[in-house]
Copies of this chain bind each other. A is one copy, B any other.
Amino acid sequence: MTRRHNRTRAERGIPEATVARLPVYLRALHSLQERGVVTVSSEELAAAAGVNSAKLRKDLSHLGSYGTRGVGYEVDYLIYQISRELGLTQDWVVAIIGVGNLGRALAGYGGFASRGFRVAALLDADPAVVGAEIAGLTVRHIDELERVIDEHGVSIAVIATPASAAQALCDRVVAAGVTSVLNFAPVVLSVPEGVEVRKVDLSIELQILAFHEQRKAGGPGESAADDWSKGLSGHGDGPRRERPPGTSEYIEAVEA
């Protein structure tokens, strides 16, 4: 069922693919706004956002009819409409859990504050960090997690801890009422129905690049496609380049 009465358009339900691009359009629009541009065509905006214009128009059409035929889109107005659709016209209270290098980078990241994300708390388990002042906030001990979430009305938790700690912390923030989690730890978090998790994985992107890079240079296939003795388990002498056996595979942290 859809939601209530069918107002004008945008019969609720913007495709995920579109939602994922709206922030990109928003950024491009802000940049145009700063340069004093008042009106922009789908062609121009699409170029600035790195997509093609048909896609841009289809995406925007899901929000409503905010352009003017023969003219284009008014920059300020479109910024407002996209911001509203994304929920950026209200503040979101964010807690960052794990204050290693990544947590610090996130804490100080200007792109959050300027978009309505207010980092209200930093938490860590390491006594050496607890109490320190970072980006204007005092780092609290992870034991205080539930209290801090409650105190500040945190609605989004950012997990920037080692993988080993992530699931347990995720469980705690969810139990404390948080329903949106942004996970930087290299694990698949499981959460109950109704909780949204998004993942940013610093190494997955590199692996995807490696795949394409390899393709450019002849690819795998031919060379040594099957120098692995299937059926004989144990490590055999498989891969062309053995990795030093000490490099304990994974479980690895996001931190230095």
- A20 to B: closest C-beta gap in Å: 6
Which chain B residue shows the least CB distance to A12?
B221
Q: Is A169 an interface residue (CB 8 A)?
A: no
Q: Is A172 an interface residue (CB 8 A)?
A: no
Cβ of B230 and Cβ of A77 under 8 Å apart? yes
**When chains A and B are docked, how far (Å) is the Cα of A219 from the Cα of B89?**
12
Q: Is A225 an interface residue (CB 8 A)?
A: yes
**When chains A and B are docked, how far (Å) is the Cα of A109 from the Cα of B66?**
44
Cβ of B201 and Cβ of A23 under 8 Å apart? yes
Cβ of A209 and Cβ of B198 under 8 Å apart? yes
**When chains A and B are docked, how far (Å) is the Cα of A203 from the Cα of B91?**
14
Cβ of B213 and Cβ of A156 under 8 Å apart? yes
**A50-75 interface code vs B (CB 8 A; 1 in, 0 out):** 10000000000000001000000010
Cβ of A49 and Cβ of B188 under 8 Å apart? yes
Which chain B residue shows the least CB distance to A92?
B210
Cβ of B110 and Cβ of A253 under 8 Å apart? yes
**When chains A and B are docked, how far (Å) is the Cα of A72 from the Cα of B142?**
41
**A222-247 interface code vs B (CB 8 A; 1 in, 0 out):** 10010010100111001111010001
Cβ of A92 and Cβ of B213 under 8 Å apart? yes
**When chains A and B are docked, how far (Å) is the Cα of A83 from the Cα of B135?**
40
Interface stretch among A29-37, A125-133, A143-151?
A: A29-37
Cβ of B250 and Cβ of A109 under 8 Å apart? no
- A157 to B: closest C-beta gap in Å: 10
- A96 to B: closest C-beta gap in Å: 11
Ordered by A's residue number, 28 sampled pairs between the chains whose C-beta atoms are within 8 Å are A23-B208, A24-B204, A30-B250, A34-B250, A76-B238, A83-B239, A86-B207, A86-B211, A87-B214, A92-B206, A92-B210, A94-B206, A101-B102, A101-B104, A102-B105, A105-B202, A106-B202, A108-B256, A109-B256, A110-B252, A111-B254, A156-B206, A156-B213, A180-B210, A182-B205, A182-B209, A198-B205, A200-B205
Q: Which residues of A are interface residues toward B (Cβ below 8 A)? A: 3-4, 7, 12, 19-20, 22-24, 26-28, 30-31, 33-34, 38, 48-50, 66, 74, 76-77, 80-81, 83-92, 94, 100-102, 104-117, 135, 155-156, 158, 179-182, 186-188, 190, 194, 196, 198, 200-214, 216, 219-222, 225, 228, 230, 233-235, 238-241, 243, 247-256
